[in-house]
Amino acid sequence: MVKMFIRDYPERTGVILDPFAGAGTTLFSAQECGFDSIGIELLPVGEFAVRARQAVGRLSFGELREAASHLGRISFEASPIDEAHSFKHLTITRDAFPEENERKLNAFLTYVNERVEPEDVRVVLIFAAFSILEQISYTRKDGQFLRWDRRSGRVGATYHKGRVLAFEDALFEKLDRILADIRGRGGAAARGASEGTTMELRRGSCFEILPTMPDGSVDLVISSPPYCNRYDYTRTYALELAFLGVGNGAVMELRQSLLSCTVENREKIDRIRQVYVEGDRLDAFEDAGRAFRSSKALHEVLAILEEYHGQRKLNNPGIYRMVRNYFYEHSFVIFEMARLLKEGGRIYYVNDNVRYAGEAVPVDLILSEFAEAAGLTVETIYALPGGKGNSSQQMGRHGRCEVRKCVYCWEK
C-alpha cells in the first residue's frame, strides 16, 4: 500500500517523512522506490527492527546460513552465561519464561555477543531471538496488555495459551524463515533498494523533533500514528523492551512521551509548549491549539464523553482525558506535517475510528478538520469496506456496531 501511494505521486524522487516510523515500512518502501526518507520513532523496539533489516540487507545468504548452521551444533543447555548479556527483567515481565527457555536464551545471548562476527551477523541473530520472545514465554500480546498463562504462577492468571515452544525450536524456525526471505529476494534483503537513496531514523518524540525541521523539506508524509484505542505499547512490547535493556524508569518515561493513546498518559501540553517557546514559535503553538478548540465535532464528542464520565458509563475514568489529549496533541503533529510539506506534497495517514460507551468518535473527520485548518486540502478519505467492531467491553451492551478504518489523503 505504501508503494502504491509513492508511485501515485507525480514526482519520481524526493523526501518521504514518517513521524511514527515503527519498524520502518515507509522508510524501506521509500528506498525501494528511489526516495530519500526520514523516520521518527520513540520506541527502541522499532529502532532495533529497522537496524536489523538494514543489517540483513548487507548480508549474503551464505554468511547467515553458515552462522545459523554453526549455532545448530551448540548446546545452549550447557553453555556459559554472562550476566552482562542476560535478559534484564522489568517488574512486569518477571516469570515470563519457563526456566529452561530463559537459561537457553541467556546462553545464546552470551555466545552471540562474545563469539559472533561480523556485527551484521550478530545483529540479525540477536534479532531472531528478539522475534520469538512471545513464542517461548507464558505471555501473549493482547492489544492493551500482555495476557499471562496460568503456568507462569502470576496471581490472577487463568488463561492457557497452549504450547510454549522450546527455545531451539522457535529460534531455528525463525532463522529458517529469515534465510528463506533472503534467498527469495535473490541474495540480499535490500536488493530492491535504489542506489544513492538515504534513510535516516531519528530516535525520540515527534513533538520535539518535528518543530526543528525546516519548512517545505519533505514531499510526502506516509504514516500510521498510534490509534485512540487505549493500547499501551510499552506494556504490549514489555518483553521486547526488557530484551533491549530498557529499565523500569525508562519504560515509564517512554509511556508518558507517546502520543496520548492510553488512559495512563498524563497531559503533556506544558512540555509541548516549552518546545515552541525554545524555538521562538509561540504563534505556531497558538495556531494548532486554536484548531483544536474550534472543532465543533470534537467538542460535541468530548461533551458526551464527559457526561458519560459523570454518569460512570465509561469503563475507565481516564477515557475522557485520553481522548481529549489525543486530539489536542495531534493538532500539533498535523500542523507540523503541513509546515514541512512542499507545495503539491501529500500526506497519507492510516488510522481507525473508535467507540466508547457506544459513542462513535469520528477520528478521520476530526483530524481532517485539523488538516484543513493547517492549510491542507482533504483530497480523499479511503475507508475499508469492512470496519472494526466494538471492543469486548462494549460488545454486550452495544453489539457489533462497526466503525471506519481509513486512510486519509491530504494535499498542500
Per-residue model confidence as pLDDT tens digits over 228-284? 998 899 999 999 999 999 999 999 999 999 999 999 999 999 999 999 999 999 999
| pLDDT range class, residue 398, cuts 50, 70, 90 | low
What integer pLDDT is reported at residue 309 of this predicted model?
A: 94
pLDDT at site 380: 96
- The 3-state secondary structure of the chain, one letter per residue: CHHHHHHHCCCCCCEEEECCCCCCHHHHHHHHCCCEEEEEECCHHHHHHHHHHHHHHHCCHHHHHHHHHHHCCCCCCCCCCCHHHCCCCCHHHCCCCCHHHHHHHHHHHHHHHHHCCCHHHHHHHHHHHHCCCCCCCCEEEECCEEEEEHHHCCCCCCECCCCCCCHHHHHHHHHHHHHHHHHHCCCCCCCCCCCCCCEEEEECCHHHHHHHCCCCCEEEEEECCCCCCCCCHHHHCHHHHHHCCCCHHHHHHHHHHCCCCCCCCCCCHHHHHHHHHHCCCHHHHHHHHHHHHCCHHHHHHHHHHHHHHHCCCCCCCCHHHHHHHHHHHHHHHHHHHHHHEEEEEEEEEEEECEEECCEEECHHHHHHHHHHHCCCEEEEEEECCCCECCCHHHHHHHCCCCECEEEEEEEC
Q: Angle formed by the axes of helices 61-71 and 119-130, to 10°?
A: 60
- Domains of the chain plus CATH, in order, are 2-49+194-411 (3.40.50.150), 60-184 (no CATH)
How far is Cα 400 from Cα 392, in angstroms, rounded to an integer?
9
Which of the pair, 404 or 388, is modelled with greater confidence? 404
Rounded to an integer, what is the distance from CA 107 to the centroid of its chain? 29
Q: Tell me which residue of 376, 267, 280 sits closest to 328, measured CA to CA.
A: 267
pLDDT digits (tens, 9 = 90+) for 46-104: 999 999 999 998 998 999 999 999 999 999 999 999 999 999 999 999 999 999 999 99
**What is the pLDDT at residue 26?**
98
Tens of pLDDT, residues 30-62: 999 999 999 999 999 999 999 999 999 899 899
Distance between first and last Cα of the chain: 21
pLDDT band at 185 (very low <50, low <70, confident <90, very high): confident
Once rounded to an integer, what is the mean pLDDT over residues 326-331?
98
Asked if the bond preceding 362 is cis, omega within 30° of 0, the reply is no
Provide CB contacts within 8 A for 178, sequence distance 6+: 56, 64, 124, 128
pLDDT of residue 375: 98
pTM given for the model: 0.93
Q: For residue range 239-252, list pLDDT tens digits in order.
A: 999 999 999 999 99
pLDDT surpasses 90 at 339: yes
Least-confidence region, from 161-170, 198-207, 291-300, 397-406? 397-406
